[in-house]
Structure 1
């Protein structure tokens, strides 16, 4: 089961013609990732501020299929494809009104914010993330 959430495509996310400006999608995606980590028991305020764990992106491959327009409700489906010792491979599918707008393959790594080196996912985070682990090619 993927993690699901929605976001509005706002005026400030679009170019003058009303079509989504692609860098805005990445900013929105950061908020979706933050919400995902909150859903697995690791709100970023705690993860970053107290536990000193970062989740930098190390790979992001996007494929755009259809344009998004100002006023669309973006439906995000985040699939956990693989969880490694410190890495996490995700797939995102973003649609509006049932039409796929874009998809992405996304890899993040757990790092110490003090040493900036990778670290193993803590057991509680790993358990929360594994609830979303997918085995099919969604």
Structure 2
């Protein structure tokens, strides 16, 4: 039996469970720093699929592309092979053209591992230039909005 290394643990709040694989680690057995980006992107992808209701790519459903404008990380703890983390995701801010997906990773005992923000920006599909967030996408994102003060 092959065990999943990443799956949705809960929808409300939205949480992705991730198990560290041996291949994610350096020879000393500590997760490579760059792998944290993979963990974030995996969780953001599953969260975006959830917001889209499983109907396709979130931005494309609303007529825009949503490439990454920025990422921010705070590394709080280390990880080792077979460690498990739960990555909670929510919408933290919605601006004119971009929005923030906040992700907090914790071990099942609640101890923090990383705090990160992924910020997509809306671009037109025909010219790849910035554009305002469509009203329909803004409404979909708003359903998952949790302002920074509500943590």
TM-score (norm 1): 0.83
- Counterpart check, 1:20 vs 2:21: no
CA contact (8 A) 1:34 1:43 kept: no
Structure scoring higher RCO (CA < 8 A, sep ≥ 6) equals: 1
Deviates further, 49-58 or 12-21: 49-58
CA contact (8 A) 1:35 1:43 kept: no
In the other structure, the counterpart of 2:143 is: 131
In the other structure, the counterpart of 1:82 is: 93
**Helix, strand or coil: the match of 2:92?**
strand
The structure-2 alpha-carbon separation of the partners of 1:50 and 1:125, relative to structure 1 and needing over 3 Å to count, comes to closer
Shift of 1:59: 1.8
Q: Distance in 1 between matches of 2:107 and 2:26?
A: 18
TM-score (norm 2): 0.77
- Counterpart check, 1:35 vs 2:50: no
CA contact (8 A) 1:78 1:91 kept: yes
Q: Distance in 2 between matches of 1:101 and 1:93?
A: 8
Stretches (4+) displaced over 6 A: 48-52
Deviates further, 52-61 or 83-92: 52-61
- The two structures, once aligned, show a CA RMSD in angstroms of 2.4
Shift of 1:76: 0.5
**Helix, strand or coil: the match of 2:113?**
strand
User: Which structure 2 residue ranges, 5 or more long, are not aligned?
Assistant: 1-11
User: How many positions carry a matched residue from both structures?
Assistant: 138
Q: Distance in 1 between matches of 2:53 and 2:121?
A: 15
Could you tell me which of 68, 77, 89 is aligned with 1:66? Answer: 77
**Deviation per residue, 1:48-88 (Å, 9 max, x gap):** 77766332222222111110111112211113111123210
**Deviation per residue, 1:12-43 (Å, 9 max, x gap):** 21112221111111122212111111111165
Q: Distance in 1 between matches of 2:13 and 2:70?
A: 20
